[in-house]
Amino acid sequence: LHKAKDRDYRCSCGYRTHRDRLGAINILSAPVIGGNSLSA
């Protein structure tokens, strides 16, 4: 069972957000060229 506390992302700097929101931010900010995302 997933608990509400498992759904929060907490950074050591104090930043907190919902993990799904953070994932969406990461997807939106990922570099994309020619329809393909670039790997790190």
Q: Are strands 32-33 and 36-37 parallel, antiparallel or unpaired?
A: antiparallel
Residue 15 gets which letter from DSSP? -
Q: What is the pLDDT of residues 18-39, one digit of tens each?
A: 999 988 888 888 777 776 776 6
Beta carbons within 8 Å of 12's beta carbon, 6+ residues apart: none
pTM over 0.75: no
Name the residue ranges covered by the structural domains of the chain: 4-29
Q: Give tens-digit pLDDT for 7-18.
A: 888 889 999 999
Contact by Cβ (8 Å): 15, 4? no
